[in-house]
Amino acid sequence: MQKRFNRIWFIPIFILLSIGTYYLPPVHSRLAWRIELVRTQIKYWINPPDQAVFQPSGKNNPLTVETAIATARAEFLLTLTPASTPTPELVATIEPTITSTPLPATVMLDGVKYEQQHGRLNYCGPANFSMALTFWGWDGDRDVIGKAVMPVNEKDKNVMPYELQDYINENVPGMTSIIRNGGDFETLKRLISAGFPVIAEKGIYEIDLNGKYSWMGHYAFVTGYDDANQVLIYQDSYQPEPETNPGPNRRMGYATFIEGWRAFNYVFVVVFPVEKQNEVLTLLGPLADETQANRRALEIAKAESQTLYGIDQYFAWFNIGTSHVDSLEYVDAASAYDYAFSLYADLNVDDTARPYRMMWYQTGPYKAYFYTNRFTDVINLADTTLKDTIAEPVLEESLYWRGRAYVVTGETNRAVKDYMAALKVHPKWEPAIQALQELGIQP
């Protein structure tokens, strides 16, 4: 009997020791992603994320005095004009980029220090921006950046370009960067041939950690091109084909690259030493001006919305919304997003046609609906994203925008919970801290 009693006591002690061992940094870093994978597989089996569909109501919430006071604290002036119904007839003229001198037919930059992202979840952002910095002599690696921008790396699903840009501004003296939408191959080639590699954010179809062939976002560090074979040369930190087509100096056809790049409004980032800023601005040409770049992106999206079909048409309409948001044209943006979501609902219900991770990477619809007084749509879109497309509600941007909508609809307690949850995913994240401080709470 005494032996049996001793064995019973051993069980809770063993459990406590196991938990303590799991949270030791070396053990946790190796096991956390596996536990996350199992949790995700179970959730997706029960509730397939590709079947989740957001249906915007298109209705404005009543504007109360409290709502007016809350929205007045927002970054931009709130427009109260009701959203209009988008029409499929759009006219756009795209002028080609003009280059003063012929570009080399083939370029492959030297001095690239390849980094892969394995052993870390969702680390393509830190890995690619690390490669961009080490190209210019920075003494660091993916983990240095990752610890700053993804402090709880097994939870944070994505790092936005602006977050990585902020990291450079705050932590890497002498270096800076420029983010632009509306990129094209001529601009990429002009920059690369002058010695400036480019980071592009794009969509890819891969077998993910859940064993499903699906769409996801990914950064690509573009370091060369070959016009004769119509391919871009880039560093692929994900390395999906290590034997046949490994990550370093990976090649992708122009047409395939465009298909993926379209999903992110042709956004690109140039990282460079501060003293080379004028050179970079000159190379950017018409895209040097951010306002003009946003208009260019809008023209491209409008033209593509009329010529493409299926998922590509959805991306084009989504890009119309994003370009309007970037120009602070929230009514037009909300209309475009409404139409994009209707196209999404009509896509075939399979992972290759339903990019259910879209809101993990881009937050334009939240801004469009929030600044057109459509707070219910903000909340419903966040609910769909956090409950139906992901195993855990760990997207800090979605939590943040739902929290803001809760504030103006009088549900302050729910807002506080969302802001606090965002800080669990991304400790010291400034937007959530500021939002709590506006409510008189010091996190």
The per-residue pLDDT for range 211-256, each reduced to its tens digit, is 778 899 999 999 999 999 999 999 999 877 778 878 999 999 999 9
Q: How far apart are CA 153 and CA 125, in angstroms?
A: 11
Domain containing residue 411: CATH number: 1.25.40.10
Give me the pLDDT at residue 80, please.
Answer: 32
Does 282 share its domain with 384? Answer: no
* Contacts of 357 by beta carbon, 8 Å cutoff, 6+ apart: 49, 157, 214, 215, 216, 217, 389
Per the domain annotation, does 329 fall within a domain? Answer: yes
Tell me the range of 79-83, 107-111, 235-239 where mean pLDDT is highest.
Answer: 107-111
Does 29 share its domain with 61? Answer: no
Does 148 share its domain with 284? Answer: yes
Domain count, the chain: 3
Range of the structural domain that residue 254 is part of: 109-288
Name the pLDDT band for 358 (thresholds 50, 70, 90): very high
Q: Extract long-range pairs of 387-392: CB within 8 Å, 24+ residues apart.
A: 388/47, 388/49, 388/51, 388/52, 389/49, 389/52, 389/356, 389/357, 389/359, 389/360, 390/49, 390/157, 390/360, 391/36, 391/39, 391/40, 391/42, 391/43, 391/44, 392/39, 392/43, 392/155
Q: How far apart are CA 239 and CA 247, in angstroms?
A: 4
Does 265 share its domain with 337? Answer: no
The rounded mean pLDDT for the chain is: 85
Does 278 share its domain with 417? Answer: no
pLDDT at 83 over 80: no
Give me the pLDDT at residue 322, please.
Answer: 98
Q: What is the CA 432 to chain-centroid distance, rounded?
A: 18
Lowest mean pLDDT among 108-117, 198-207, 208-217, 280-289: 208-217
Residue 431: both structure tokens together: 């937007």
Answer whether 0.95 is exceeded by the pTM.
Answer: no
The per-residue pLDDT for range 308-357, each reduced to its tens digit, is 999 999 999 999 999 999 999 999 999 999 999 999 999 986 656 789 99
Does 325 share its domain with 393? Answer: yes
pLDDT at 195 over 80: yes
pLDDT at 130 over 50: yes
Residue 312: both structure tokens together: 């590509």
Give me the pLDDT at residue 36, please.
Answer: 59
Chain position carrying tokens 């096991």: 31
Number of other CB atoms surrounding residue 246 within 10 Å? 14
Residue 377: both structure tokens together: 């749509």
